[in-house]
Amino acid sequence: MLSTDAVEIKPGAAVRIEHWGGPDVLAGRVRRVEPEAFTKISTLGVEEQRVNVIVDLVSPPESVAGLGDGYRVDARITVFSLDDAIIVPAGAVFRSGDTSSVYVVKNGRAEMRPVAVVRRAERSVAVASGVAPGDVVIIYPSDKITPGVRIAAQQR
């Protein structure tokens, strides 16, 4: 793992192992994040600091038949989880003064709402309040979007 990503990984974290050559997604748990990084040159020629993350497979032994030492896999490691989280696209959240806000479409008009951000990721944001499941948010609102302006939905 890149060392910048590895700092969030904790022992016991759930792991999904994909694209390992078999038909199923395998389950695992992080046993250890090694404390020392090493330098590796990426395929683009960039020096990267990497850290080994040791994962124990928890899938049944019969489901991992054929997986061997040194195989390349894609691993998704859970670094944060929240039951009943409300997730909005990162492009919908913007700063308004000292608070984070979103525009929600309500009765065909833009309504600006402050949101309590719990966690940010590259493409999504978990919020504790300000929006509800099913609310339609405006992604990347331009300066033409102001509270009360009429909104027409576009299909992508």
Q: What is the mean pLDDT of residues 95-113?
A: 95
Provide the pLDDT confidence category of residue 132 given band limits of 50, 70 and 90: very high
Specify whether 51 is located in the same domain as 111. Answer: no
Share of the chain above pLDDT 70, in %: 98
Torsion from C-alpha of 86, 130, 126, 150, nearest 10 degrees? 90
pTM for the structure as a whole: 0.67
Range of the domain at 116: 82-156
Specify whether 60 is located in the same domain as 23. Answer: yes
The two counts, helices (H) then strands (E), for the chain are 1, 12
Specify whether 27 is located in the same domain as 71. Answer: yes
Specify whether 72 is located in the same domain as 122. Answer: no
Specify whether 86 is located in the same domain as 152. Answer: yes
Final residue of a domain: which of 59, 77, 95? 77
Q: What pLDDT does 94 receive? A: 96
